[in-house]
Amino acid sequence: MIIDRYLIREISKPLVVICTILVVIFASYEAADYLAAAAAGLLSGKTVIYLILLKVAIGLEVLLPTTLYFSVVVALGRMYTDSEITALSACGVSIARVVRAVFYLSLPLAILVASLSLYVRPWAYEKGYWLKEHAKAELDISRWKAGNFYRVQRMNRVVFAEEIDHENNRAKRIFVHSDLGDRVQVIYAKQVYQHVDKKSGKQVLVFLDGYLYELSRLGDQGHIMKFKQSTMALEPPEIKPVEYKRKAASTMQLFRSKKARDVAELQWRLSTPLATILLALLGVPLSRTAPRQGKYARMGTAVLIYAVYYNTSAMAKKWVDQGVVGSVPGMWWVNVLLASLILILLLQPNFASRWRSR
C-alpha cells in the first residue's frame, strides 16, 4: 500500500496543476464569445459570469479525464527519467502494481465524472438556455450600448439611445417606438433612468424632459404631449418555455427515448466515466521513456493519441446522432478499440521485459 500511495501522490501533483491550467484556458475561450455579446448589450455582466461557470461545469466532464491522462504520462515519465521505476522494478514492483495504483486513482475521478455527465451536464445546459431566454426578454439599461437598437418583442417596442451613462445607470437622448396595434407611439426624452418601484416592486423607466407622439393608423388625428417626467412600468419578462433540447434533457428521459439523437447524447454521457479510467490506464505504457529523454519526451505521442481518440469519439457520436450507426455498436466501439490498445501495449513482451530490465 505504501507504493500505491506514493504513486497516487506523484500523479496527483501534476493533476492539480494541469487541471487548473486547462480550466483557465477553457473558461477564457468561452468568455470571449459571451463578452462579445455583453459588449453588444445582449447580456449583463452577471449573466456572463453565470454562463461561464455553467460552461466550466459542463466542460469538466472532458477536462478531468484529459487532466488525469496527461498527469499519468508526466508523473510516470519523471519517474522513468529519475530512475525511480528502475528502483521499483528492482524491488519486485511489477507493472501490474503500477496499473493498480493508477486504477485506484482513476476510479473516484470516474465516479465524479459520471455525476457531472449524468446530472450536472443537463442541469447546466437547462440553466444556460434559461438565462439566454431571460436576457432576450429583459429590458435593462445597464447593458445597453450607445447607438444600438434594442427590440423588446413581448412589448412590441424598439429602443434607441444616443448616449449611455453606465456609472449612473442613465441613458441620454433616447427614442422608444411602441407598436400598439392601430396606434404607433414614439417617446423622445433627454434622459431616462431605470429603478424598482417601491410600491409595486416592478422595474420602471423614468423619462425626463421629453415628448410623446401618438399617431393613428386609421387616419385619426394624432397627439403630441410635452412632459417634464413620465414613467413607464416594465412588466416582468415573459420567458417562453425552452423547447426540448437533448443536452438539457434528464438522463432518465434519454433512457426512455428511442430517437437517434437522444441515444447519441445518452451514450456520450455514459462513455465519459469509462473514458476516465481507460485514458488513465493508457498513460501507463505511454509514459515509458529512456533515462536521458526527459519526463516530457512522450507528451507528443500522448497528445496525438488523445486527439485521435477524442475526434473519433466525436465522429462516432455524430454517426449515432445521424442514424448512420445504430445504438449497437453505437459509440462503444471506440472505447473497445482503446481498451484493446491498452492491453496490447501492456502485454506486449517488449514492454514487460523493458520494465523488468530498468
- Name the β-bridge partners of 157: 152, 178
Q: 196 and 341: one domain?
A: no
Q: 56 and 80: one domain?
A: yes
Q: What is the pLDDT of residues 116-131, one digit of tens each?
A: 999 999 999 988 888 8
Mean pLDDT, all residues of the chain: 82
Q: 189 and 335: one domain?
A: no
Phi first, then psi, for residue 174 (nearest 5°) are -110, 145
Q: 119 and 6: one domain?
A: yes
C-alpha grid cell for residue 121?
Answer: 451536464
Domain boundary among 212, 234, 256: 234
Scored b (16 or more CB within 10 A) or e, 281-310 reads: bbbbbbbbbeeeeebebbbeebeebbeebb
Q: Where are the alpha helices (DSSP H) in 182-328?
A: 251-256, 260-286, 299-321
- pLDDT over 50 (residue 358): no
Closest CA to 113 of 57, 43, 180, 170: 57
Count of domains forming the chain:
2
Q: What is the pLDDT of residues 156-205, one digit of tens each?
A: 778 888 887 777 778 888 888 888 777 888 888 888 887 777 776 677 77
- pLDDT over 70 (residue 142): no
Residue 204 and residue 196 in contact, taking contact as beta carbons nearer than 8 Å: yes
Indicate the pLDDT class of residue 144, thresholds 50, 70 and 90. low
Q: 311 and 328: one domain?
A: yes
Which contacts qualify for 34-43: CB closer than 8 Å, 24 or more apart?
38/143, 39/145, 40/145, 40/148, 41/143, 41/144, 41/145, 41/148, 41/150, 42/135, 42/136, 42/143, 43/135, 43/143
Q: 168 and 262: one domain?
A: no
Range of the domain at 328: 2-136+243-357
Q: What is the pLDDT of residues 248-286, one digit of tens each?
A: 888 998 888 888 899 999 999 999 999 999 999 999 888
How much is the pTM?
0.73
